[in-house]
Amino acid sequence: MPLPSEPLRKLGFLTIGLFEEADPRRGHESTLKVIELGERLGFDSAWLRHRHLQYGISSPVAVLAAATQRTSRIELGTAVIPLGWENPLRLAEDLATVDILSGGRLNPGVSVGPPMHYDRVRQALYPDTADTEDFSYERVRRLLHFVRGEPATDFSGVQGFEVFSDRVQPHAPGLGDRMWYGGASLRSARWAGENGMNFLTSSVVKAEESEDFAEIQLAHVRAFRAHHPDGERARVSQGLVVIPTDSATPRQRAKYLAYAEQRMPRTATPQGPARLMFAPDLVGSSAEIAERLYAQAAFREINEVAFALPFTFDHDDYIQILTDMATHLGPALAWHPPHPTTP
């Protein structure tokens, strides 16, 4: 088995937080319990996906606010918030508030572009400004501006009995350094680097100069660092769907393999007008998964991961997968939990 250039420094996981329409609380509670388990197992970070008008977490910032009160150490992230649905000033206030509640553990990940199915939601989302909304990188710049404590207004001082600030309150020192951009293209990788953000690369990339997933992802990692002020020290986190089976039951193994097989055809060629390339899901023992990861050029150049949990599995499946990640896969990648407790 090839060895990494350095041990895996941060082990995280990502979940979409599905729920049933008739009982949404149960699904949200399951997500919070999964985050609590992640902390007990010693994971460095837990990340939430973002879904609008679906049966997944529509407000990850609110869910993470709850998670701050049920955890004390694990970092909490979003991967990612699509800014086309957000007002950057209001989002900056929410992010700063949750970061303060967490004691400086929030890692917000964002992306830009028009909202999904924009033609169908534009009237509900922006009834008066749908044709003039700016969904470019400028929307991220505005968010960074506010999060980093730059002025949001030219007014401050006392008016009557009220005191006003010219910047977002509360101000969360350090949050600006923990902002992530989720990018699938070379342009996004370069932009994130030029603007001093951290970079999230996942199991989806755009086939621009190649149709080899690993080659594309490696180009993104290198382009990001080449344009970042911190160079090779700039933070990159890789997110792939990883399903260790060390302690899985025969029924679970069969379920996991069927899930990966069903999704495999989309990995063969670029998909859709955007020419998206998908990485195969990694299913097997931790030793097998570690070997497949080390075979990837991009993985060998990063030291942080946020492995994605499959969307549609049961709560008990997530317990098994996370436990195997922390106790088998992590050590196989030379990672060791900082302060694990008994699950």
Which pLDDT tens digit goes with each residue over 181-231?
999 999 999 999 999 999 999 999 999 989 999 999 999 999 999 999 999
**What is the model's pLDDT at position 239?**
97
DSSP code for 326: I
**What is the model's pLDDT at position 245?**
98
**What is the model's pLDDT at position 6?**
74
**What is the model's pLDDT at position 5?**
52
Q: Averaged over 121-149, what is the pLDDT?
A: 98
CA dihedral over 211, 215, 218, 223, signed as positive or negative: negative
Q: Which helix (H) or strand (E) holds 157?
A: strand 157-159
pLDDT > 90? residue 20: yes
- Going by pLDDT thresholds of 50, 70 and 90, the confidence category of residue 24 is very high
**What is the model's pLDDT at position 4?**
53
**What is the model's pLDDT at position 338?**
79
What does pLDDT average to over the chain?
Answer: 96
Which pLDDT tens digit goes with each residue over 153-183?
999 999 999 999 999 999 999 999 999 999 9
Which pLDDT tens digit goes with each residue over 258-308?
999 999 999 999 999 999 999 999 999 999 999 999 999 999 999 999 999
pLDDT > 80? residue 340: no
Question: Are 37 and 343 contacting, i.e. CB atoms less than 8 angstroms apart?
Answer: yes
Helix (H, G, I), strand (E, B) or coil at 322: helix
pLDDT > 90? residue 339: no
Residues 6+ apart with CB under 8 A from 180: 77, 79, 80, 107, 108, 109, 110, 197, 198, 199, 200, 237
**What is the model's pLDDT at position 3?**
53
Q: Which sequence spans correspond to the domains of the chain? A: 10-155+164-250+275-332
- Going by pLDDT thresholds of 50, 70 and 90, the confidence category of residue 2 is very low
Burial 159-174 (b: 16+ CB within 10 A, else e): eeeeeeeebbeebbee
Q: Using CA atoms, how far apart are residues 293 and 296, in angstroms rounded to an integer?
A: 5
- Going by pLDDT thresholds of 50, 70 and 90, the confidence category of residue 105 is very high
Cis peptide before 108 (omega within 30 of 0): no
Which pLDDT tens digit goes with each residue over 46-90?
999 999 999 999 999 999 999 999 999 999 999 999 999 999 999
CATH of the domain spanning 10-155+164-250+275-332 = 3.20.20.30
pLDDT > 50? residue 19: yes
